[in-house]
Structure 1
Amino acid sequence: MTNYYLFVNKSFNGWLIFQYIAMIIGTLNLMTSGMHYGWPSPSLPKLLQNDSHIPITSDEGSWIAVILLPGCFSGSVLGGLLLDRIGRKYVILLSSIPFIISWIMIAYARSFTILVTARYLAGISDGLICCSVPIYLGEIADPKIRGLLGSAVSVAWLFGILVINVLGSYLTIADAALISLIVPMLLLLTFPFIPESPYYLLMKGNVEKAKNSLMVFKGTNNVEDELSRLKVAVEEQSRNAGKFTVKSTRRALYITMGSRGAQQFSGTVAIVFYAQIIFKEAGDSVSPEIGSIIYFSVQLILSGICSIIVDKTGRRPLMIISVTGAGIALLIEGVYFYIKSTTDIDVSRYSLIPVVALMIYVIMFALGLQTIPVILLGEIFPTNVKAFAISFSDIYFAVITTTVSKFFQVTKDNFGMHVPFFAFTGCCVLGLLFVLFYLPETKGKTLEEIQEELKSEEGEAISKYENYQKRLKS
């Protein structure tokens, strides 16, 4: 297999073709993850109908939607344990199995319990894939296209949401599930032929395999300098054996938590779960099915655009624009639902406003909040703590998305649709402050340069504090 890769490298000398191939195949299960996240939007309305083949209540429907997230919690813990033991590649492969079982169970489910179990299994795979793919792509990517490869995580996830909204709107639940089964099976059959991350191979002392992996991903046989640089970087980072004893590593964790928090507390997963229900309550200007398909199509296209420009514009400018625009759109949405539910004003003539506001939200969200927090996951942690840190980050993600999704359902049902939208607006304000004062720029830097910058900024902050203390004493 290595000889075949080297033959191709001679034909495509200097090309990064295998990085793109690894990105496309490796993100197939991110697409599957998106399909499971998007599944409740077209499926819950069918399950809540009086003639449903599995009669459920609104509360049971909310648990079917959010049980994926506790499963993600479990999968993230498992991923954290396995990433440095069996490797990034084999965790990606392992994620296919619960996904496959889950789709089969959904296709033939005849009870609420089976559906909940299937969704929980899908969550385990989601935790595994969300731990492994950002690390893998971050470690194989050339610095000048790392933003593009990292953005593919979000783009594939959104494509999956769009696909299941189309399938679920026009096919039965069983037929949509059986078609969806093809995607994780395709990864399981093709990804074994993709090389492991050179960083992981060096961590395990497999220098020769790491060299072969680099030759494949760099598209050249001349990788001695790159190999030496990676060996030094891995050895240096491995000396810091403690998980979060190093301040720069803790800072990386805070950056991840802040950016993920800004992303999820804007309500994106709740909107994904309940897209068709939101469009239904907004009015009759657009059908729920068409509205949700347009919504996710726009999100996919704009995330794709973000993935192309993020390596040119940088992370910070896009995040500032994104969180500001998303907050304004959510405020408009909240004001509309507040007027509709708490006053006697007839808003039927203005039912297009919440649809337009939701479209503005998805455009603004997709420009930065959708992709950049995921890119950062694969960029800002040193090699020796990357698996543990990203596992922790995904557990944090599962907790906050479960909280936000249940918060949306409870406040929507008991106080009105405007309450969660106003809350999400407030979270965008806090997210903007975080981006302005704490988010670093990682555009065009190697993983080693990013680590050095985190350490130097930490050192600069300590130096400033010490100078300040000296001035106070004098």
Structure 2
Amino acid sequence: MANGRSRLLQHLTAAAASLINMCYGTFMGWPGTTLPILEAEDSPLPLTADEGSWLASINSLTMLVAIFATGYAVDVVGRKKVLLFGAVPLFIWWVMVAFANSYGMLLAARAIGSLGGGPIITALPVFLCEIADTDVRGTLIVIHYFLMQCGYLLVYSIGPYLSVTTVALICASIPIIFFLTFIWMPESPYYFLKQRREAEAVKCLERFKGQLSREELKFELESMYQAIREKQQSKGKLKDVILVPVHRRTLLLAILASIGLALVLSLVMGELFHVSVKGVASAVGITVMALYGFFLQKMFQVVSDGLGAYYSFWGFTVMCVGAVVYVYALMPETRNKTFAQINEEMIHNEVCPV
């Protein structure tokens, strides 16, 4: 158990890391306030409704490239470096928006900015779970989502009242703040152990946990080594996710319920899946969500133009109500539980015998 000072460092590190999610919140919120301006008669850069729908949805497809690349990079270059890299495409996006003079430039900027979604969706939840004590893991994840909503709130607050260029330049400062803040924070000790750099892992571990006795340090290292060995020895395959009942049940639960509650998908992926299939199951779940997000964003404009916007929002309402009922009835509680306890509960949970 970490002491007060080390517990504070866990929260500060999580807040600094999660600033990149605030960057992503501004990126994702931009179409909602700016597209109506660009599609208006007095637009500074005239767009059609169809062009606007492509700007709102193309990122769901292009970010898949970064997601799969990031899944490999987190164990090669480290969680921290991957997250720092994620700020670069988001910064480029805002600079391109500030000086965009054509639809093509905006579309290219949108595709580039979406590459920042890879580190956020794959590396950030892993990093937060690895640095946190079990009893504060949920709190750190809340910081992660809270700052994303702050990003949405910022762009919604200034977007309708300032020029497109001014909004872009203001939002471009957030990736810079994230980079300058997070670069000083420790790396995950799990990464150093996987790289056989135990001395550096111990330093990071003691920063996050406080001064440990020899027995406590041995216990922490053995627990991490055990988790790493299980992941290396258990090479999950796609067929395992489909054919093994507990993995299939977990995947169906994640795909959280996420129709109405997509923001917590990455947390579910990180906590519910067994280590042997976490990688492949996360890839499947994220791919489904990306395709679903693209379809939803692209069809929103089509449905709204053809039938009226109220049909779209009633559809969202039904999805959210259904997700609440589904989660309440079938989703296990993960608060204050280790990953081993969560996996054991999923194995013995027969409420969803599919």
Q: For residues 103 and 429 of structure 1, do their structure 2 counterparts lie closer, same or farther at Cα, with a shift above 3 Å needed? A: closer
Q: For residues 455 and 378 of structure 1, do their structure 2 counterparts lie closer, same or farther at Cα, with a shift above 3 Å needed? A: same
Letter in 1 for 2:261: Q
In structure 1, how many angstroms separate the alpha carbons of the residues matched to 2:24 and 2:47? 24
In structure 2, how many angstroms separate the alpha carbons of the residues matched to 1:56 and 1:447? 48
More deviation in 22-31 or 48-57? 48-57
Match of 1:134 in 2: 125
Deviation at 1:429, TM superposition (A): 4.8
Letter in 2 for 1:196: E
Match of 1:238 in 2: 232
Match of 1:85 in 2: 76
Letter in 1 for 2:114: G
In structure 2, how many angstroms separate the alpha carbons of the residues matched to 1:389 and 1:376? 11
In structure 2, how many angstroms separate the alpha carbons of the residues matched to 1:15 and 1:127? 29
Secondary structure in 1 matching 2:259: helix
Deviation at 1:200, TM superposition (A): 3.0
Q: For residues 77 and 20 of structure 1, do their structure 2 counterparts lie closer, same or farther at Cα, with a shift above 3 Å needed? A: same
Deviation at 1:457, TM superposition (A): 3.5
Deviation at 1:397, TM superposition (A): 2.1
Q: 454, 457, 464: which one pairs with 2:349?
A: 457
Deviation at 1:249, TM superposition (A): 4.1
Match of 1:20 in 2: 11
In structure 2, how many angstroms separate the alpha carbons of the residues matched to 1:461 and 1:108? 52
Contact 1:379 1:450 in 2 (8 A): yes
Query: Aligned-pair RMSD on alpha carbons?
Result: 2.5
Alignment of 1:9-408 (within 5 A): 15-222=6-213, 223-244=217-238, 245=240, 247=244, 248-264=246-262, 370=263, 372-383=264-275, 385-408=277-300
Contact 2:249 2:352 in 1 (8 A): no
Letter in 2 for 1:415: L
Q: For residues 208 and 448 of structure 1, do their structure 2 counterparts lie closer, same or farther at Cα, with a shift above 3 Å needed? A: farther
Deviation at 1:31, TM superposition (A): 0.4
Letter in 2 for 1:236: E
Deviations 1:73-94 (A, max 9, x none): 2221222232232222221111
In structure 2, how many angstroms separate the alpha carbons of the residues matched to 1:154 and 1:409? 27
In structure 1, how many angstroms separate the alpha carbons of the residues matched to 2:199 and 2:251? 32
Contact 2:15 2:144 in 1 (8 A): no
Q: For residues 425 and 45 of structure 1, do their structure 2 counterparts lie closer, same or farther at Cα, with a shift above 3 Å needed? A: closer
Deviation at 1:240, TM superposition (A): 1.4
Match of 1:339 in 2: none
Q: For residues 202 and 252 of structure 1, do their structure 2 counterparts lie closer, same or farther at Cα, with a shift above 3 Å needed? A: farther
Contact 2:236 2:280 in 1 (8 A): no
Deviation at 1:14, TM superposition (A): 6.0
Secondary structure in 2 matching 1:397: helix
Deviations 1:80-122 (A, max 9, x none): 2322322222211111111111111000000000011111111
Match of 1:285 in 2: none
Contact 1:84 1:387 in 2 (8 A): no
Match of 2:315 in 1: 423
Q: For residues 164 and 436 of structure 1, do their structure 2 counterparts lie closer, same or farther at Cα, with a shift above 3 Å needed? A: closer
Deviation at 1:193, TM superposition (A): 2.4
Deviation at 1:133, TM superposition (A): 0.7
Say if 2:339 is the partner of 1:447. Answer: yes
Q: For residues 27 and 205 of structure 1, do their structure 2 counterparts lie closer, same or farther at Cα, with a shift above 3 Å needed? A: same
Letter in 1 for 2:252: Y
Q: For residues 415 and 461 of structure 1, do their structure 2 counterparts lie closer, same or farther at Cα, with a shift above 3 Å needed? A: closer
Contact 1:198 1:213 in 2 (8 A): yes
In structure 1, how many angstroms separate the alpha carbons of the residues matched to 2:276 and 2:84? 22
In structure 2, how many angstroms separate the alpha carbons of the residues matched to 1:32 and 1:97? 11
Contact 2:62 2:114 in 1 (8 A): yes
Match of 1:280 in 2: none
In structure 1, how many angstroms separate the alpha carbons of the residues matched to 2:197 and 2:280? 21
Secondary structure in 1 matching 2:104: helix
In structure 2, how many angstroms separate the alpha carbons of the residues matched to 1:197 and 1:421? 41
TM-score by length of 1: 0.67
Q: For residues 381 and 22 of structure 1, do their structure 2 counterparts lie closer, same or farther at Cα, with a shift above 3 Å needed? A: farther
Deviation at 1:379, TM superposition (A): 1.7
Deviation at 1:387, TM superposition (A): 4.5
- How many residues align? The count is 346
Letter in 2 for 1:21: L
Letter in 2 for 1:260: S
Give the unaligned 5+ runs of structure 2.
Answer: none
Structure with bigger gyration radius: 1
Q: For residues 175 and 428 of structure 1, do their structure 2 counterparts lie closer, same or farther at Cα, with a shift above 3 Å needed? A: closer
Match of 2:305 in 1: 413
Letter in 2 for 1:77: F
Secondary structure in 1 matching 2:255: helix
Q: For residues 383 and 201 of structure 1, do their structure 2 counterparts lie closer, same or farther at Cα, with a shift above 3 Å needed? A: farther
